[in-house]
Every structure is written in C-alpha cells, then in structure tokens.
Structure 1
Amino acid sequence: MPRFLAVYTMKPENLAWFRSLPKAEQDAIDAQGVRQWAAWEERNAVSILDRGGMVGKTTRVTKHGVTEARNPFCGYLVVEAETADAAARLFLDHPHLTVFPGDGVDIMPFVT
C-alpha cells in the first residue's frame, strides 16, 4: 500500500497568537488537544506507520553553507493509504486543525 508523508504546518502569526494567550488558556487548549490527538491516533492506528513528532527551528544546508531558515513545518508523521486523497481525508478532523492553531497538513507520497 502507498505511503505518505504528512507534514503539519503552522503560520508564524498563528503561533504568535497562541503564545500571546494567557498561560492558563494555553494549558487548557494543550490539554484538550493532546487528548483529542491521542484519540485521533487511536482511531487511525492501522494507517499510521511512523508517529513522527513535532519539530523545532530549521537549519538549512546549501552548497553555500549552513544557515538558519524559516518554514511552516512544525511536525510530521507517515501514513499508509490507498491514495493521496484517502491519506488526506484522515486529517480532516485532526486536532492540529480543530484545536491547535495549525494551518494545514501537507500530504506527499513517497516515490522511492
């Protein structure tokens, strides 16, 4: 069955908004989101090949050297599905989008 990389994205201004909330409100969102994330993973366990994780700041390597970089990526996981559309549909109710200030989930097929 085809495998897909699912990359969680978040706009910097959405993260800034979240961080501007009172700590108690952030904690409440985190608590709700973590519970719902675990439930989402349980519902979709058969499709999840690698739970991945959340990621931090980016360091980019080019032919010109190593620099800091910015991108919207904040996490990833690997899923298995019949099609890219089927993989994408797994994320329609994901807490990254419904609870946390996530911007989207990019779905990309592995081609090798």
Structure 2
Amino acid sequence: MPKFMAVYTGSPAKAGASPPDEETIGRGMKAWGDWMAGHAGAIVDTGGPLGKTLRVSGGGVAPHANALTGYVIVEAETHEAAAAMFEAHPHFAIFPGEAVEVMAMPPIPGQ
C-alpha cells in the first residue's frame, strides 16, 4: 500500500501571544490520541514533534528556521485518501497549528 508522510506546520507564536492553557492542552492531547487510535491501522510510523533545525549545505552547517513542527507516516490507497485522514485534525482544530501537508513517499527507483 502507498505510504505518505504528513508534516504538521505552524508559525512561531506572535510576540505577546500566550500559549494554550492547560485545559486546551489536555483537550487537544486527548483528541490527538483519539485521532491516532482511530487511524491506528493506517499509521506506519507514529512520528512525533520536531525540534530546532540545523541546515547543512555546501557552505557548512547553520541554524535554520522552518514551519515544521512534527510528522507521521501513514498508508492509504490514494494521496487524496491520505489527506482526508487529516481533515479537522486536532493540530489545527484545537492547537494553533497552521496545516498538515501530506506528501507521497514513492519507492526508490531501481529498488
């Protein structure tokens, strides 16, 4: 079955914005756990949060900012079916995340 990586995205909190309160965090984490349980058969790698980034280029290694906050890998019949799993996901339905980007993970050519 085809595999898809979903990355959770979000912007740094705006100056002066307060983080979610304990009730929102608790409600969000329960909803996230419920989402994971409801899609357990499709989840290949539960993934997790992503931390600070170091970018490696021809110029060396340097700190880098991006919008990636976490990931999960799922299986689905189609790209559209994989994306549909994330509609109303707690990442942006409860938490202040912006989106979930779902990309195909095609096999490596020649393998």
Q: What letter is aligned with 1:40?
A: W
- Alignment gaps of 5+ in structure 2: none
Structure 1 or 2: more helix by fraction: 1
Q: How far is the alpha carbon of 1:20 from its aligned partner?
A: 2.9
> Which residue of 2 is the match for residue 65 of structure 1?
60
| Pairs aligned (count) | 107
Question: Helix, strand or coil: the match of 1:20?
Answer: coil
Distance in 2 (CA, whole Å) between partners of 1:16 and 1:51 is 29
Quote the residue 1:11 is aligned against: 11
Query: Structure 1 length as normaliser, TM-score?
Result: 0.89
Code of the residue aligned with 1:104 in structure 2: it is A
Q: Which aligned segments of 4 or more residues in structure 1 are displaced greater than 4 angstroms?
A: none
- Percent identity (aligned): 40
Per the alignment, residue 97 of structure 1 pairs with: 92
Provide the rounded CA distance (Å) in 2 between the counterparts of 1:16 and 1:37: 24
Alignment gaps of 5+ in structure 1 = none
Partner of 2:17: 20
Q: What RMSD, in angstroms, separates the aligned Cα atoms of the two structures? A: 1.5
1:99, CA displacement in angstroms?
Answer: 0.3
Read off the aligned partner of 2:9 and give its amino acid letter.
T
